[in-house]
Structure 1
Amino acid sequence: MRIPTATYRFQFHAGFNFEDAKQIVDYLAELGITDIYASPIFKARKGSSHGYDVVDSNQINPELGTREDFEALVSELQAKNMGWVQDIVPNHMAYDSENSLLMDVLENGPDSEYFDYFDINWDHPYEDIKGRVLAPLMGSFYGEALENGEIQLKYDETGLSVNYYNTKLPVRIESYVKFITHSLGQLARELGGRQHPDFIKVLAILYLIKNIPSEVKGKERYDQIAFVKGLLWELYTENPAIKDFVDRNIEFFNGEKGNPESFNQLDTLLSEQFYRLSFWKVGAEEINYRRFFTVNELISVKVEEIKAFRRNHALIFHLVEDGKFTGLRIDHIDGLYDPTEYLKRLRDRTGDLYIAVEKILEQKENLPEYWPIEGTSGYDFLIQVNGIFCQQENEEKFSEIYQKFARANNNYGQLSYEKKRLIVERNLAGDVDNLAQVLKRVSGQSRYGNDFTRFGLQKALSEVLALFPVYRTYINQDGLRESDRIYIKEVMEEARRHVPQLLKELNFIEKVLLLEEEESLTAEQKELRRHFVMRLQQLTGPLMAKGIEDTLFYVYNRLISLNEVGGNPGQFGISVADFHEFNQKQQETWPHKMNATATHDTKRGEDVRARINAISEIPEEWEKQVKAWSEMNRSKKKKMKNRLIPDVNDEYFFYQTLIGTYPFGEVKGTDYHDRMKNFVIKAVREAKVHTAWLRPDSDYENAYMDFVDAVLADEKFLAEIQPFQKTIAQYGIFNSLSQTLLKATAPGVPDFYQGTEFWDLSHVDPDNRRPVNFEERVAVLKEIKEKAEKDILSLIADLVATREDARIKMFLINRILAARNENIELFQSGDYIPLEVTGKFSDRVVAFARKYEDKVAIALTPRFLTSLIKPEEVPLGEQVWEDTRIELPQGMPSAWKDAITAQTIQSNGKVLIGEALQHFPVALLIS
């Protein structure tokens, strides 16, 4: 198995394609990267900026280049002995006209070759979507869209289609009869009678269509439909009378705006289709297909079906077998019906391949050890390393500041429950309803549940979902494990305290979830119970993501550096002891998992978090500053409907964001203001307090943007805020360097998100997918390496003095990756040994050793520097660190070389921090 030494994440799209990536392979190799880690490269919806809206998983995305361009990039990587870890999307595809498999299903229904490919409930209890799939893709109500002429019937070489702006859906072949028979007599007269050869062909088309459903199946059916469509197109293009006939019928079916009755024929034709066009908001409350989270435009694949699994992965497996992909990253593993079974199939098919999964773990939750993978894609490490830079002892002070300023609820657990309930009742109401329908069937098969109503069951089920403590459990055909049992018992106890009036329903649900089956149940009834459990498991993950990460994380703003994917901002930081414990477990169990500090999904850039964490050290100063800013900006707020906009919680969020993202350089002439406005609007919509994606409040949003404009245009305010902002930015630099070293030396594969070798001051997506200036990075790396060869200490002194320009971060990454590449076994397989720090500032240092045979490396990083040095100072030398030192365990070497500065030091059982940090703010000592 090829284990990456360091990965670099590319976000491919039309603006950054294979050729662009090829141009910087040399640069990445020089930086020390061994493997690229690519966003999805398969054909996606036209103009996709991320690639997760796949329309064809067996075709390279033409917007990224040709197959030859792809091969050229692979060849360039292989020439440098670099690998390719590919992000794949097994859970879902785009609900889009370009998705030919889905269009086949919408056209042919149960006769489609791909009828079971997508996760659709064709037997839904609601009559209007029974035997049809909902298509919630319209911007207005169906009746309005129809009578406004927004839904149009069209005809071209592919046949009849239903069109709503850019959405094009096929018409089932049976509906052609209704279309062709309209004014058929007039066509006969225009052709000179029913004996005209072309009219006879039209009649033949009608005959063939009427006999397709009952007489023809499979390939023969497809061939006959193609023949019918081809014949009609031939008549249309060769006979002007038939062309006029078809065009007139199109005009007739499309109705006349202002005449509601004229749309009856189109309405009837639409009612015959295997889909039901609807307003997009319908999908939140009534839906019969599984989506990705709450995104109507992403329809889930039944990858648990072996046919779907094989087809979805055909090109992927081919590229793995050819050695072009040397690793896979599995997107949204928790969305799958049976993640364990999927991963076993994947491992069986790909053999000895590096596999990581996108898995969000709660605090103290363990990744299933029975999964045949190398580990997660790194969010768990991100939360750990971020947490140790938040000063835990100041939690109470920050809670008081937040409560006083924002008048906010500090009960994180209560807020978590409330926001998940909100999602259950609004955004995922239809999904919960579908699950309750299955539970009602289950309860009806038992004497103990026969009297339960669907209403009562749904209410109890909603409580369980809102209280569920982790993303999901992994119960499957093999049963449930003890970890699953613990989570289920925990949530059921909590649910009984919340709704004791539903005790019997909850007790019944608990038995079902624990697979406690009654003896009288048939095999089919037992299977339905298990199916319910596995369906529930598919829903708890999206609920957690939407309720916590995409709602609560924009509401609970005590310290927003903690509001990160996989995080728990209710826990104010993480102790060094817990950080060491985490890393020791990773080394024992998942030594080759990925370690991330920024991804395409993180809520803010890694260096934004590093800055805001510095605020955790100075609560009194922070409170003073925020009060002053609020007073200065009070007049910039707007009063509307007895409320001031923005409210104090959103204002508090804005100030933290401003401190975290304000650039080092000049703001004038940049897009910073627009980026900030786009971000705060996304944030308040995600928060769902004053406005939301489902119910936008333009008054609040416009007033908030006006506030941001006024604040950022106020020179007096900017002058007032800059001293504090610059102070935090300086301390943020040292936090950033520390987390970079920790990421690159802790157990696991360090992953670098594109562009983050410079300061990463981005907001959440799409802001973090902005173009990266690689030309500048190439030039800086070249300069750094050349100067390091000549006089490394002189270079370091320059980098420290000019640290705002980000060259210092690139220098650090280059030096530590060089050390990793020179000591691969040490960092891939070495033991993780926490090191004891003693002396005056022992709490300001995080240190550990990696040991493999006779080789040892020590990573040493500072933190909590606001009370140690002034903003303009650097944390270097014994005059700063005094007697602070690392106590080395017995048997450790005494001679060391710092891989960053190339300087040597002697330890004699102790490493003085001031000596190790004499020239550079972090150290990587190698024996």
Structure 2
Amino acid sequence: MSETPRREGAPPAPTSTYRLQLRPGGGLGDARALAGYLDRLGVGALYTAPLLTAAPGSAHGYDGVDPRAVCPELGGEQARQDLAARLRELGMGLVADIVPNHMSVALPEANPWWWEVLRDGPDAEHAGHFDIDWSRGPIELPVLPDDGDGGAAALDRLELRDGALVLDGRRHPVAPGTDPPGAGPAEVHAAQHYRLVSWRRAAEAMSYRRFFDVTDLAAVRAEDPEVFDALHAEVLRWADRGELAGLRVDHPDGLADPGGYLRRLRDRFPGWIVAEKILHPGEEPPASWPIDGTTGYDALREVCGLFVDPAGEAPLTRLADSLGAPTDLPHLEEAAKEWAAGVLLAAETDRIARVLTGGRPDPAARRAVAALLASFPVYRTYLPEGERYWTRAVAAARRRLSGPPAPPPGSGAGDGSGADEGAPDGAAPPPRGKGARPGEAGAAREPHPGAPSGGAAAALAALEEIDRRVREDPAGELAVRIQQTSGMVMAKGVEDTAFYRATRFAALNEVGGDPGAFGTAPEEFHAAAARREAVRPAAMTTLSTHDTKRSEDVRARLAVLSEMPEEFAAAVRDWSRRRGLSEPSLDLLAWQTLVGTWPISAERLRGYLLKAAREAKLRTSWTDRDPAFEEEVAAWPERVLGDERLAADVARFVDRVRRPGWSNALGQKLLQLTMPGVPDVYQGTELWDLSLVDPDNRRAVDFTARDVLLERLESGRRPPVDATGEAKMHVVRQALHLRRRADLRGYLPLPAAGPAARHAVAFARGPRAAVVAVATRLPVGLAAAGGWRSTVLPLPWGRGTWRDLLSGRSFPAGPPGAPAAPRLGDLLSRYPVALLVREPGPGAPDQG
């Protein structure tokens, strides 16, 4: 396998990874067929979506139902072995995605463990595998469609058939001896260890822990050694066979003890391990975690921010204010987190409060828990290591409980939105047949009751009791459940609500992003890169994932808007006057999305905007639809694209930002591929990719076209920067192959010198600084100032010649004892990026 030097004694990390979303219908066979192409591209390891058995028809694999076998819909065990053999033949590795936090329970009969638990209750062999509160009585399954009758009409359709209770095609088990002859469905249902209840109960009365608010995903207890072994036996068997180079751990923040889990995993698997962990700016993974790093959202934020001009912040803020879109991000986030803790995840909040009170309901305890959950500055504290974040959260919760409650999200109070609630209370959610769509992924929306009831003094006393008990026993149930839930509140309140409302500049509204931080200074980028090299040099870096809100190339194009904010503002005001949406946040997001993805089909744009509108929960939501508003949103793409004059105006504007966007895209890609860390390439992004949030970013990739372009590059072609995206593949191929053959330890920032120095970002890698990456930033401002002019880039001293792997040009290393300092106008004359390798001259040492 391709290797990167790592700490002594550890198996090698991949030089790079390529993320592939496997599709039902033979995904492993397709991956095997693609392995040769990926090897030629320079990829070190294939990184797949989860491979274990998932719910029937799963498009992503994160809804596993049986960890004991490879998913049959992906091709099964033989196909996995065939893929492993092909990768071994090519010298490539396999990195597998594993999901230790939850399993799908959408179709009970598809999940053998869950079926047994529903049938046999707390005495079931696998009852302890799931995080279930049996003290609440029978498990409530919120699956009944509800048109305002509490699900009564749906229960009337319940049938007893073939030894199972059947509703709308979904089967549920019957415990032995509970269906005597002559018994009707209602009588049998009442005798089970579960109850089918209205989907509306999900937010308030869940007896099993969910994955976020998704009732179709039940949490498992991976902290139990027996459960750990059952979940990982098959994957670790692949590792024992030498068929696994690395593991990507999904959502460790949901586990009871992430550190303990990762230490147990490390004891069993010595290879490369990265954890899907969203870090707040400045936050680090706990030092005790024996992992190579995270999956790279922090690197995404740092790299993409380099191409955002801070000067654009004020004009874009004025634009949002003028349209009525909210710009007070801190207030939006606080209100949305309060809503998530008090409403959307009320069941989880209530369970924590009952742990505090010994099982009795207590409004003051519930209010204290909700305030605390809404006050965390990070996704999760890892006690006792994360005590400083815990202290900040408790202090913030004290202030929250001492003052007036924040208005619920979407109320229009204080957030500058001016929007009303839109959908009426009790409106029907999307249908499954007739009635609700239970288990809908995405945020639910209920009538907002405000903060949980209970006097402020009593709630403050409850908060102090929580603080005391958690500090005394940071591994106790109270501390664990608070930590498991705080990340849920952050994700649903901030990323999946506030980020869809604060649409001032969508390029910043990314997973792990900070929309309040307008850009990344080069010095900040260099400091972060140097720290990564020193602390976790084998952490994954990324620009696009299956979870990002928009692809790297969309963000690269949108970054151009920060350099021409007044022109964009004038255009949006004109476009909005002609064809604007009635909700300001979505209106502003829609125009940015249209510019960022142009040309885009009406179908793709419609799907994205409907999802964005429901996530924002201002005028509609996943579970409380406003049909009239959704009709307006659904019609908008055709109205805009069908307006020839307006569409032509948009196209002309895009023509102005397209080429600078390509420059940004090449720059951020080169930096990500050569900076410290193990770079991941998301499927298809070796060419321009203008994808939006899932499911848009899971569309099929045309690998046939990519293979043709790769053959052209292999013949020595140096493509122009044009609409084909071949130049991006050229950058990707050269950088990935370089990582395979060169030692890139070390990191040295290289400041440019001259009038346009701030438009260049460069660094050297390798023990002798023999590899240099150079990128152009803020290209619009660079052109407006007259280009590079006399700006030079002093290169590390060394004998020999510098050769640009992209342009093919060579530059002398400089006179003895002095560094070379090529003019950036010469160095970047063909491409806005350069990848330099020092080729030793006569008598000079090798680059090592």
TM-score (norm 2): 0.88
Q: CA deviation at 1:656?
A: 0.1
Distance 1:867 1:515 in 2: 56
Kindly report which structure 2 residues correspond to 1:39-438, keeping only aligned pairs within 5 A, or say none.
Answer: 39-95=49-105, 96-97=107-108, 98-124=110-136, 130=137, 132-140=138-146, 147=153, 151-156=157-162, 160-176=163-179, 179-180=180-181, 182=182, 253=184, 266-350=185-269, 352-405=270-323, 407-438=324-355
Structure label with greater radius of gyration: 1
Q: Partner of 2:448 in structure 1?
A: none
Q: Partner of 2:482 in structure 1?
A: 536
8 Å contact kept, 1:141–1:278: no
Q: Does 1:630 align with 2:576?
A: yes
Q: Partner of 2:402 in structure 1?
A: 500
8 Å contact kept, 1:633–1:711: yes
Distance 1:16 1:731 in 2: 40
8 Å contact kept, 1:294–1:427: yes
Name the CA shift for 1:885/1:610 in 2 (closer, same or farther; >3 Å).
same
**Residue type at the aligned position of 1:466:** A
Q: Partner of 1:923 in structure 2?
A: 834
8 Å contact kept, 1:412–1:570: yes
- List structure 1 runs of 4+ shifted beyond 6 angstroms: 141-144
8 Å contact kept, 2:144–2:155: no
Q: Partner of 1:24 in structure 2?
A: 34
Q: CA deviation at 1:50?
A: 0.4
Q: 2:387 aligns with which of 468, 472, 485?
A: 485
8 Å contact kept, 2:332–2:498: yes
Secondary structure of the residue that 2:780 maps to in structure 1?
coil
Secondary structure of the residue that 1:926 maps to in structure 2?
strand
Secondary structure of the residue that 1:116 maps to in structure 2?
helix
Name the CA shift for 1:769/1:420 in 2 (closer, same or farther; >3 Å).
same
Q: Partner of 1:462 in structure 2?
A: 370
Q: Which has the higher helix share?
A: 1
Q: CA deviation at 1:137?
A: 1.8
Kindly report which structure 2 residues correspond to 1:810-889, keeping only aligned pairs within 5 A, or say none.
Answer: 810-823=729-742, 825-826=743-744, 830-852=745-767, 854-869=768-783, 880-888=787-795
Distance 1:301 1:620 in 2: 51
**How many percent identity over aligned positions?**
35
Secondary structure of the residue that 2:603 maps to in structure 1?
helix
Distance 2:460 2:525 in 1: 37
Distance 1:33 1:436 in 2: 49
User: Residue by residue, what CA displacement relative to the aligned partner does 1:462-513 show, whole Å, maximum 9, x if unpaired?
Assistant: 11111211000112xxxx12xx221122122222222227366446535644
Distance 1:715 1:887 in 2: 50
8 Å contact kept, 2:470–2:476: no
8 Å contact kept, 1:119–1:289: yes
User: Residue by residue, what CA displacement relative to the aligned partner does 1:17-46 show, whole Å, maximum 9, x if unpaired?
Assistant: 111111111110000011000001111111
Aligned residues: CA RMSD: 2.0
Q: 2:380 aligns with which of 441, 455, 472?
A: 472
Distance 1:345 1:545 in 2: 27
8 Å contact kept, 1:513–1:533: no
Name the CA shift for 1:456/1:918 in 2 (closer, same or farther; >3 Å).
same
Distance 1:832 1:511 in 2: 48
**Residue type at the aligned position of 2:140:** L
User: Residue by residue, what CA displacement relative to the aligned partner does 1:178-217 show, whole Å, maximum 9, x if unpaired?
Assistant: x22x3xxxxxxxxxxxxxxxxxxxxxxxxxxxxxxxxxxx
Q: Partner of 2:415 in structure 1?
A: none
Q: Partner of 1:651 in structure 2?
A: 587
8 Å contact kept, 1:34–1:83: yes
Q: CA deviation at 1:145?
A: 5.0
Distance 2:497 2:201 in 1: 20
**Residue type at the aligned position of 2:636:** F
Name the CA shift for 1:608/1:516 in 2 (closer, same or farther; >3 Å).
closer
Q: Partner of 1:192 in structure 2?
A: none
**Residue type at the aligned position of 1:500:** S
Secondary structure of the residue that 2:248 maps to in structure 1?
strand
Secondary structure of the residue that 1:805 maps to in structure 2?
coil
8 Å contact kept, 1:292–1:300: yes
Name the CA shift for 1:621/1:168 in 2 (closer, same or farther; >3 Å).
same
Distance 2:470 2:733 in 1: 56
User: Residue by residue, what CA displacement relative to the aligned partner does 1:709-755 show, whole Å, maximum 9, x if unpaired?
Assistant: 21111111111111111211211111000011001110001101111
TM-score (norm 1): 0.80
Q: 2:17 aligns with which of 7, 12, 16?
A: 7
8 Å contact kept, 1:511–1:517: no
**Residue type at the aligned position of 2:76:** T
Distance 1:341 1:506 in 2: 32
Q: CA deviation at 1:917?
A: 1.1
Distance 1:336 1:845 in 2: 43
Distance 2:102 2:576 in 1: 45
**Residue type at the aligned position of 1:919:** R
8 Å contact kept, 1:595–1:749: yes
Name the CA shift for 1:698/1:15 in 2 (closer, same or farther; >3 Å).
farther
Distance 1:535 1:848 in 2: 44
Q: 1:588 aligns with which of 534, 539, 543?
A: 534
Unaligned residue ranges in structure 1 (runs of 5+): 125-129, 183-248, 254-265, 445-452, 519-525, 635-644, 789-794
Name the CA shift for 1:141/1:279 in 2 (closer, same or farther; >3 Å).
farther
Q: CA deviation at 1:762?
A: 0.8
8 Å contact kept, 2:25–2:75: no
User: Residue by residue, what CA displacement relative to the aligned partner does 1:240-294 show, whole Å, maximum 9, x if unpaired?
Assistant: xxxxxxxxx6xxx2xxxxxxxxxxxx22321211111112221112111111111
Q: Does 1:895 align with 2:766?
A: no
Distance 1:149 1:361 in 2: 45
8 Å contact kept, 1:104–1:112: yes
Distance 2:154 2:284 in 1: 54
Deviates more, 1:387-396 or 1:602-611: 387-396
Q: Does 1:712 align with 2:630?
A: no
Q: CA deviation at 1:866?
A: 1.0
Distance 1:517 1:722 in 2: 58
Distance 2:558 2:482 in 1: 37
Distance 1:57 1:602 in 2: 26
User: Residue by residue, what CA displacement relative to the aligned partner does 1:112-169 show, whole Å, maximum 9, x if unpaired?
Assistant: 1111010100012xxxxx1x1111122226967554566433433xxx1111223211
**Residue type at the aligned position of 2:375:** L
**How many aligned positions are there?**
769
8 Å contact kept, 1:485–1:514: no
Secondary structure of the residue that 1:55 maps to in structure 2?
strand
Secondary structure of the residue that 1:542 maps to in structure 2?
helix
Secondary structure of the residue that 1:426 maps to in structure 2?
helix
**Residue type at the aligned position of 1:155:** R
8 Å contact kept, 1:142–1:277: no
Secondary structure of the residue that 1:120 maps to in structure 2?
coil
Name the CA shift for 1:122/1:774 in 2 (closer, same or farther; >3 Å).
same
Distance 2:397 2:224 in 1: 34
Name the CA shift for 1:487/1:270 in 2 (closer, same or farther; >3 Å).
same
